[in-house]
Amino acid sequence: MSMKPTSPSVALVTRVYRAHVFHIAGAPAQDDVASHLVSLPDGALVVDADGRVAWVGPYASLPEDYATTPVTRADYLLPGFVDGHIHYPQSYATAAHGGGQLLEWLDHCIFPTEGQFADPEFAHRAARYFTRRRIAAGTTAAMVFGSAFPVAQDALYEETLKAGLRIVSGRGVQTVGPAAASSLLTGEKEAIDLVADEIDRWHAVDTGDPRTARVQVGIVPRFSLSVTRETLAAMGELYDEARGKGVYFHSHLNENNRKGDGEIAAVLGAYGTETYLDTYDGRFLEGSKVGGRTLLGRRSTLAHAVHCQPSELARMAETGTSIAHCPTSQLFLGSGTMPWRATVAAGVNIGLGSDIGAGDEWLISRVAGDAYKVHISEEGDAGTALHPAELLFAATLAGARALDMEHAFGNLDAGKDADFLLIDKNLWEPLEGMLTTGIRSDDEDQATLEELFTLLVGLRQPAIAAVYVQGREAIAPPL
Ligand SMILES: [Zn+2]
């Protein structure tokens, strides 16, 4: 039985948050984010009683109406981080020694830990842990790869609602797999019935409207190797019905290509398709013939996309499908690096994903730091030093765009929901040292970019003083 969802009952009052504010204003294209960077060194964010941004600007220009409004101060204020790909049933599996790349790690580390979530008591504890970790990392919105077990999904949604965070999730679907995954498998019909039931019970449960809901549901097969043509066809039919209600689709794509015998070769071998993406695009029959409906679209996100063919990137751009870029995880599993410039040039929206547990870092700004490191290390002309505004965009607004929720959050434009973090550098001594004493350019604009870069890449969880969604501070559950 799931708990009846409730909204937090304490009324909000209008409040001013005074700090150095950074955000990416408006709705820029990926190649134009630097010109949309806003820096307000002594800035003010006014949050109204509905939890929306009423005004943002220099504190010195605060409108008269707010002259007596209570003020909360912090060193920095950023939009909430968006994690576009994170595995709830791998909450305890970070930094697990897999003894190999993706397929070995799944067998040795992941299928066993995910099996533990069948136990209701374990699942409830894990849901609290997962929610606590999200708040500590300032992840106000997330696309959460779910557990196979409905009892664990119910616990996840319950804890997320109580804490006041945003979530899109869906049970991880597997209808075929190796012996190690046996407890996670279901039959074909049961797989679809369970997804349909999760949509019925949890999708937009808090407001009834997918444009405003904090809790939403997706169709989430683990990857093409964990399902069959029959599963993909049935999911396509279900998605055709559910798409109009704002239901999401989420999975993995082109992650690991180890010496021709890894994940990608296995998918192409199993399906006989021209590309991996074809399996999610209804073209899952031999030779990429059409066998069902597509799962791609504006509410679809595919994690990794490290080894895409140009036609796959073009198709993602055409359908509005986003990529969750997970450089921390790709380093951990030796998967390679999503080519930044080619992917951006293709016009695909790119958010960031921690990919907990192959990623061993919950903090999305650190994932952005890893993105900086891997892309500056790409060979030849592909190598690029990402602009600080690109890192902030990837960690916030691009993630909201991937969730098709850019109208509601992702930056601090007036009228949006007030999803934001307060950061106090003194809460983590190295951050204070870097930001206070670090070398800065004599050029003021350049110095601002350097400060943002240090804030994002140097940030660690202890310096996140408070996390707000729709103007309300997120409250961590007890362990
Ligand atoms: Zn993943």
How remote is the CA of residue 86 from the centroid of ligand 1, in Å?
Answer: 6
- pLDDT for 261 beyond 90: no
pLDDT in tens, 180-233: 999 999 999 999 999 999 999 999 999 999 999 999 999 999 999 999 999 999
Residue 479 maps to a domain: no
Structure confidence at residue 2 (pLDDT): 42
Structure confidence at residue 353 (pLDDT): 98
Query: Within this chain, do residues 276 and 362 fall inside the same structural domain, yes or no?
Result: yes
Query: Within this chain, do residues 71 and 185 fall inside the same structural domain, yes or no?
Result: no
How remote is the CA of residue 253 from the centroid of ligand 1, in Å?
Answer: 9
Q: What percent of the chain has pLDDT over 90?
A: 92
Domain boundary at 402, 435, 464, which?
402
How remote is the CA of residue 62 from the centroid of ligand 1, in Å?
Answer: 44
pLDDT in tens, 140-167: 999 999 999 999 999 999 999 999 999 9
Two structure tokens written together for 171? 């049970």
Cα angle for residues 132, 88, 409 (degrees, 5° grid): 70
Query: Within this chain, do residues 184 and 48 fall inside the same structural domain, yes or no?
Result: no
Phi-psi region at 334: left, alpha or beta (left = phi > 0; alpha = psi -120 to 50): left
How remote is the CA of residue 96 from the centroid of ligand 1, in Å?
Answer: 14
Task: Report the C-alpha gap between 276 and 266 in whole angstroms.
Answer: 10
Residue 134 maps to a domain: yes
Burial of 183 (0-12, 13-18, 19+ CB in 10 A): middle
Query: Within this chain, do residues 171 and 230 fall inside the same structural domain, yes or no?
Result: yes
Query: Within this chain, do residues 305 and 224 fall inside the same structural domain, yes or no?
Result: yes
Residue 6 maps to a domain: no
**Centroid of chain to Cα 36:** 22
- Say what the pTM is: 0.97
The overall average pLDDT reported for the chain is: 96
How remote is the CA of residue 99 from the centroid of ligand 1, in Å?
Answer: 18
Query: Within this chain, do residues 382 and 454 fall inside the same structural domain, yes or no?
Result: no
Residue 5 maps to a domain: no
- pLDDT for 99 beyond 90: no
CATH code: domain of residue 252: 3.20.20.140
Structure confidence at residue 98 (pLDDT): 80
- pLDDT for 86 beyond 50: yes
Query: Within this chain, do residues 223 and 239 fall inside the same structural domain, yes or no?
Result: yes
Structure confidence at residue 10 (pLDDT): 72
pLDDT in tens, 318-362: 999 999 999 999 999 999 999 999 999 999 999 999 999 999 999
How remote is the CA of residue 400 from the centroid of ligand 1, in Å?
Answer: 19
How remote is the CA of residue 21 from the centroid of ligand 1, in Å?
Answer: 32
User: pLDDT: is 387 or 5 the higher one?
Assistant: 387
How remote is the CA of residue 351 from the centroid of ligand 1, in Å?
Answer: 14
Residue 129 maps to a domain: yes
Query: Within this chain, do residues 65 and 168 fall inside the same structural domain, yes or no?
Result: no
Query: Within this chain, do residues 88 and 27 fall inside the same structural domain, yes or no?
Result: no
Cβ atoms of 193 and 175 closer than 8 Å: no
Two structure tokens written together for 358? 């192959």
Q: pLDDT-derived band of residue 369, with 50, 70 and 90 as boundaries?
A: very high
Task: Report how many domains make up the chain.
Answer: 2
Residue 407 maps to a domain: no
Residue 1 maps to a domain: no
CATH code: domain of residue 460: 2.30.40.10
- pLDDT for 103 beyond 90: no
How remote is the CA of residue 65 from the centroid of ligand 1, in Å?
Answer: 47
How remote is the CA of residue 252 from the centroid of ligand 1, in Å?
Answer: 6
Residue 4 maps to a domain: no
- pLDDT for 87 beyond 70: yes
How remote is the CA of residue 449 from the centroid of ligand 1, in Å?
Answer: 31
Q: pLDDT-derived band of residue 9, with 50, 70 and 90 as boundaries?
A: low
How remote is the CA of residue 355 from the centroid of ligand 1, in Å?
Answer: 5
How remote is the CA of residue 350 from the centroid of ligand 1, in Å?
Answer: 15
How remote is the CA of residue 454 from the centroid of ligand 1, in Å?
Answer: 28
Query: Within this chain, do residues 427 and 381 fall inside the same structural domain, yes or no?
Result: no
Query: Within this chain, do residues 349 and 431 fall inside the same structural domain, yes or no?
Result: no
Q: Return the minimum-mean-pLDDT range out of 74-78, 258-262, 285-289, 380-384.
A: 258-262
Domain boundary at 360, 379, 402, which?
402
Query: Within this chain, do residues 142 and 278 fall inside the same structural domain, yes or no?
Result: yes
Segments forming the whole domain that contains residue 40: 15-79+412-473
How remote is the CA of residue 291 from the centroid of ligand 1, in Å?
Answer: 26
DSSP 105-142: HIIIIIHHHHHGGGSHHHHHHHHHHHHHHHHHTTEEEE
How remote is the CA of residue 171 from the centroid of ligand 1, in Å?
Answer: 13
Domain boundary at 352, 374, 402, which?
402
